[in-house]
Structure 1
Amino acid sequence: RGGMPMRRTSAAPSDRSVTGEVAVGGVRPMKEASPKGGGGMERAKKRKAYDEFEGAPMADMGMDEEEGGSGAAGLEPADGLLDYDSLTLPPPGASEQRGRLRPRPAHVTQAMLALTAVSVRVDVLSLVAQATFTANAVRDVRPPTWGVPPRESARYFDARFDAEASTDVPSDGAWHTVPMLTLPVELKAEYVCVPSVEPRVFRTVRLDNPTPHPLLAGPVDVTLEDEFLMTSPLPTLGPGETQRLGLGVEEALQVARNTRFDEATGGMFGNSTVLTHHVSVEVANHLSRPAVIAVSERVGAVPESQKDIKVEETEVAPPWHKPTPIPGEAVVEGERVWRVSVPAGEKRSMKATWVVKLPASKMLLGGNRRT
């Protein structure tokens, strides 16, 4: 296979004979026996050519590497020979090295890099001005809803808060909430109602700060178990102080208020006026759990300078009490509070009667008929 084809000849009856033999990798050409007679020089030249052909290796170009051939990737250049930028052709004077690419000497490469200069012009003042503008831009970013700057919310406090863990704040010019530390505070849910102002029951949370750290003003997220309720503003709460957070209207609690007013003349000669006020309040609980509700009512308040005016609470059921104002809340003169517990699906009623006695020549501020 792959060698020269063997020519078949027939031997004619003569004094010449034809012989042939098979060589490895092909067929050796047929050689004729030397005839007798002339022509010896020409036959010697042919014999020499055949001998040279006979000694040459007969490689099969179609053989695979497994069969001993060179294969398609028999010659692979070294990686360094493919780096044409670092190869150079020797000069004409180096006759022994001519004709082949050779690696460039290291000192030549360094010299070429030194001669290749790159000029970059940077306006430092413009970069500094741009960086300063970007840094100052955060001052114009509006704070989050109900966010208060520390200088305004700290009041008279000068406290330091040590973060419990490190955190990363993105440099994007926006506000981010990061955890600082955890403080144990006391929370107590309360329902409050002022039916003389608005016949609705509001959800509130009473927050006590027993820690030595002040809680600065800002937004607070309120959750009930796993349910998010709302975000509410939290005023600054100093150590040992108490605040109340409003959480909106509780629609499942309903309240109704009714009033009655009587005016009469008193005294031996009818020189005084007696004003009798009757108030009744009913609360209905449509929740699936009991609810404790604080119902506020207001009776007439008499200045200390008015000695001739009296206010008497004649009938109150169940009993009410004067509330202790929470720091930060306005003090309301004449305020009274019922604190009642209403079971789920039930109603509770409250009644109160008070009498105002004043001289006939005087009148209550806003009129005697008060509801």
Structure 2
Amino acid sequence: MAGVYLHVPFCKQACHYCDFHFSTDTSLLTDVCKSMSAELVLQKEYLTEPVSTIYFGGGTPSLLTSSEIGHLIEKIQCLFKIAPDTEITLEANPDDLSKEKLKALRHSGINRLSIGIQSFNNDLLKFLNRVHDSSAAMQCLEDVREAGFDNISIDLIYAIPGLSENIWQETLLKALSFSPEHISSYALTIEERTVFGNWSKKGKLHPMEEESAARQFEMLMETLGGASYEHYEISNFCKPGYYSRHNSSYWKGAHYLGIGPSAHSYNGSTRQFNIRNNSAYLRAIQSGKIPSETEVLSEENKINEYILTTLRTQWGCDMSFLKDHLQDDIMSRKGDYLTLLERQGLVSIEENVVRLTRKGKLVADKIAEDLMMSV
């Protein structure tokens, strides 16, 4: 099964932490949406498998009208073979989800919402430069249930400078009070090309100490685990059976097509990158060209991607798959290191599958980096 990702590169305002490709000038929104529909036609041969997930990301795809979203879904259904139970996710901000919009989204085919809550604390929401406030976030979560959505995910950010353990615990408990099927939670990273990055360079902002950030991650695992959520990927938790099927397909190496400015595609042997410029994207599509670059993945690239993505999940890194399908005998390369990690309680190894323990999840990136091949 394959997936289709649609990148909608527009936002009402720039969050201080975000370095994804987007523009706050929405004058090209309608043109870009039409060009994304045209790109789907140009890319119709890219996938050979049935499509089982469709994901609208951004940017802020909830800026699209429900009819624009419905048209893109219909275009995909016309051009590709679609699984009968396709998961169709829309990333959305609370301030875009009026009761009328929610009803229209349900009618358009959206069956899963990923809502950018980030925090329930008004001071932190202002600091992050989010449009909504806490009351709007809570009202939105009530409204999505009233509209009939039974599969929702919410995003939360921790390790924000000024976020105390008490406020973080209150945030988690508030999120759980709405009983979302899925929660994604990320540590704040200060990226260079952002407002926070600029403040950091000038000494006006300092990241949270690693020890404090690690403690907040531990609180996240303890609190959601205590509420019977599965910690199925480093940053993702769900009620049983409510994994993000789209994102899980990335981590399991499934093929996907990316549509829109800056979107990426993957077919198993190459990775395709669309241009990160809205105007240039429009010109190329209007002339019948796909504005992208293609990278042919080396065997080392494939091995490293497999290790990096699978190790972050509860399903783990299958050493037999690495050996049989990617010709990497990781035990020969890193057997002593894996034994050390197991002795230190950072990984478990059962039936030739390496999985991170709770302790190991605190240093997941370091472990993955140490296990990867030099390129």
Q: TM-score of the superposition, structure 1-length normalised? A: 0.19
Higher helix share: 2
Higher strand share: 1
**Quick one: higher RCO (CA 8 Å, sep 6+), 1 or 2?**
2
Larger radius of gyration: 1
